[in-house]
Protein backbone atom coordinates (compact mmCIF):
# COMPACT_ATOMS: atom_id res chain seq x y z
CA UNK A 1 0.00 0.00 0.00
CA UNK A 2 1.32 3.45 -0.89
CA UNK A 3 1.71 6.26 1.60
CA UNK A 4 0.40 9.72 0.72
CA UNK A 5 2.91 12.48 0.05
CA UNK A 6 1.01 14.59 2.58
CA UNK A 7 2.07 12.08 5.25
CA UNK A 8 5.53 13.68 5.08
CA UNK A 9 5.81 16.47 7.63
CA UNK A 10 5.22 19.94 6.09
CA UNK A 11 3.97 18.61 2.74
CA UNK A 12 0.27 19.12 2.29
CA UNK A 13 -2.45 18.65 -0.29
CA UNK A 14 -1.06 21.28 -2.69
CA UNK A 15 2.32 19.53 -2.89
CA UNK A 16 0.57 16.18 -3.19
CA UNK A 17 -1.49 17.46 -6.14
CA UNK A 18 1.57 19.00 -7.80
CA UNK A 19 3.49 15.75 -7.41
CA UNK A 20 0.59 13.77 -8.89
CA UNK A 21 0.61 16.06 -11.96
CA UNK A 22 4.35 15.41 -12.26
CA UNK A 23 3.89 11.63 -12.03
CA UNK A 24 5.15 11.27 -8.46
CA UNK A 25 2.47 9.08 -6.93
CA UNK A 26 3.44 8.53 -3.30
CA UNK A 27 5.83 9.33 -0.47
CA UNK A 28 8.14 6.41 -1.31
CA UNK A 29 8.53 7.59 -4.91
CA UNK A 30 9.25 11.12 -3.72
CA UNK A 31 11.88 9.90 -1.27
CA UNK A 32 13.52 7.71 -3.96
CA UNK A 33 13.77 10.68 -6.30
CA UNK A 34 15.08 13.10 -3.71
CA UNK A 35 14.36 16.80 -3.57
CA UNK A 36 16.29 17.96 -6.64
CA UNK A 37 15.03 15.32 -9.08
CA UNK A 38 11.47 15.67 -7.75
CA UNK A 39 11.56 19.46 -8.06
CA UNK A 40 12.91 19.13 -11.61
CA UNK A 41 9.90 16.91 -12.44
CA UNK A 42 7.58 19.49 -10.91
CA UNK A 43 9.07 22.25 -13.07
CA UNK A 44 8.90 20.09 -16.18
CA UNK A 45 5.23 19.41 -15.43
CA UNK A 46 4.56 23.16 -15.48
CA UNK A 47 4.74 24.13 -11.81
CA UNK A 48 5.81 27.71 -11.27
CA UNK A 49 9.20 27.92 -9.57
CA UNK A 50 9.17 29.15 -6.00
CA UNK A 51 12.19 29.02 -3.72
CA UNK A 52 10.19 28.46 -0.55
CA UNK A 53 8.40 25.48 -2.12
CA UNK A 54 11.76 23.95 -3.02
CA UNK A 55 13.21 24.79 0.39
CA UNK A 56 10.24 23.20 2.20
CA UNK A 57 10.58 20.06 0.06
CA UNK A 58 14.27 19.70 0.91
CA UNK A 59 13.67 20.19 4.62
CA UNK A 60 10.66 17.82 4.59
CA UNK A 61 12.64 15.01 3.00
CA UNK A 62 15.33 15.49 5.65
CA UNK A 63 12.69 15.35 8.41
CA UNK A 64 13.51 18.90 9.50
CA UNK A 65 11.26 21.88 10.26
CA UNK A 66 10.44 23.75 7.06
CA UNK A 67 12.44 26.85 8.04
CA UNK A 68 15.46 25.12 9.59
CA UNK A 69 18.27 26.12 7.19
CA UNK A 70 20.27 29.27 7.83
CA UNK A 71 23.24 31.15 6.46
CA UNK A 72 25.52 29.22 4.13
CA UNK A 73 23.19 26.22 4.00
CA UNK A 74 20.28 28.38 2.87
CA UNK A 75 22.49 30.16 0.32
CA UNK A 76 23.56 26.78 -1.06
CA UNK A 77 19.90 25.74 -1.33
CA UNK A 78 19.18 28.95 -3.25
CA UNK A 79 22.01 28.17 -5.67
CA UNK A 80 20.64 24.64 -6.21
CA UNK A 81 17.15 26.06 -6.77
CA UNK A 82 18.43 28.60 -9.31
CA UNK A 83 20.32 25.86 -11.17
CA UNK A 84 17.24 23.62 -11.27
CA UNK A 85 15.10 26.48 -12.49
CA UNK A 86 17.56 27.31 -15.27
CA UNK A 87 18.03 23.69 -16.33
CA UNK A 88 14.39 22.66 -16.35
CA UNK A 89 12.48 25.54 -17.86
CA UNK A 90 11.45 26.96 -14.54
CA UNK A 91 10.66 30.38 -15.92
CA UNK A 92 6.96 29.65 -15.53
CA UNK A 93 6.63 29.39 -19.31
CA UNK A 94 7.77 32.96 -19.88
CA UNK A 95 10.20 32.02 -22.66
CA UNK A 96 7.47 30.04 -24.45
CA UNK A 97 5.04 32.93 -24.05
CA UNK A 98 7.55 35.41 -25.46
CA UNK A 99 8.25 33.10 -28.41
CA UNK A 100 4.51 32.77 -29.14
CA UNK A 101 4.03 36.54 -28.94
CA UNK A 102 6.93 37.02 -31.35
CA UNK A 103 5.34 34.44 -33.69
CA UNK A 104 2.10 36.41 -33.86
CA UNK A 105 3.84 39.74 -34.36
CA UNK A 106 3.86 41.23 -30.89
CA UNK A 107 7.21 42.94 -30.60
CA UNK A 108 9.20 43.13 -27.39
CA UNK A 109 10.36 46.78 -27.15
CA UNK A 110 13.40 45.74 -25.12
CA UNK A 111 14.66 43.71 -28.06
CA UNK A 112 13.24 45.82 -30.89
CA UNK A 113 13.34 49.60 -30.39
CA UNK A 114 10.31 51.39 -31.82
CA UNK A 115 10.61 52.65 -35.38
CA UNK A 116 9.80 56.29 -36.12
CA UNK A 117 6.35 56.87 -37.51
CA UNK A 118 6.14 57.86 -41.19
CA UNK A 119 5.75 61.59 -41.72
CA UNK A 120 7.33 62.59 -38.40
CA UNK A 121 10.52 63.83 -40.01
CA UNK A 122 12.51 60.89 -38.72
CA UNK A 123 11.87 58.59 -41.67
Domain contains 112 = no
How many domains is the chain partitioned into structurally?
A: 1
- The per-residue pLDDT for 42 is 95
pLDDT in tens, the chain (123 residues): 789 999 999 999 999 999 999 999 999 999 999 999 999 999 999 898 999 999 999 999 999 999 999 999 999 999 999 999 888 865 556 666 667 777 777 766 666 666 666 666 554
Residue 2 DSSP symbol: -
118 within some domain: no
CATH code for the domain in which residue 47 is found: 1.10.150.20
Threshold 0.75, pTM exceeds: no
Assigned domain for 61 exists: yes
Q: Which domain holds residue 63?
A: 5-103
Cβ–Cβ < 8 Å for 44, 52: no
Q: What is the DSSP string of 34-80?
A: HHHHHHHHHHHTTPPP-HHHHHHHHHHHTT--TT---HHHHHHHHHH
**pLDDT for the residue numbered 30:** 98
How confident is the model over 56-90, as pLDDT tens digits?
999 999 999 999 999 999 999 999 999 998 888 65
Task: Round to whole Å and give the CA distance between 7 and 12.
Answer: 8
DSSP state of 25: -
- pLDDT for the residue numbered 92: 55
Q: In this predicted structure, what is the pLDDT of residue 104?
A: 77
- Distance, in Å, from the CA atom of 41 to the CA atom of 33, rounded to the nearest integer, reads 10
Per the domain annotation, does 32 fall within a domain?
Answer: yes
Distances from the Cα of 26 to the Cαs of 1, 45, 57, 104, in angstroms?
10, 16, 14, 41
Amino acid sequence: MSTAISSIRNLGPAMEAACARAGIKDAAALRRLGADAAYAKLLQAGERPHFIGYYVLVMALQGRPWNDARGAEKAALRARFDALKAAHGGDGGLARLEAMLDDIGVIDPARHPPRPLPGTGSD
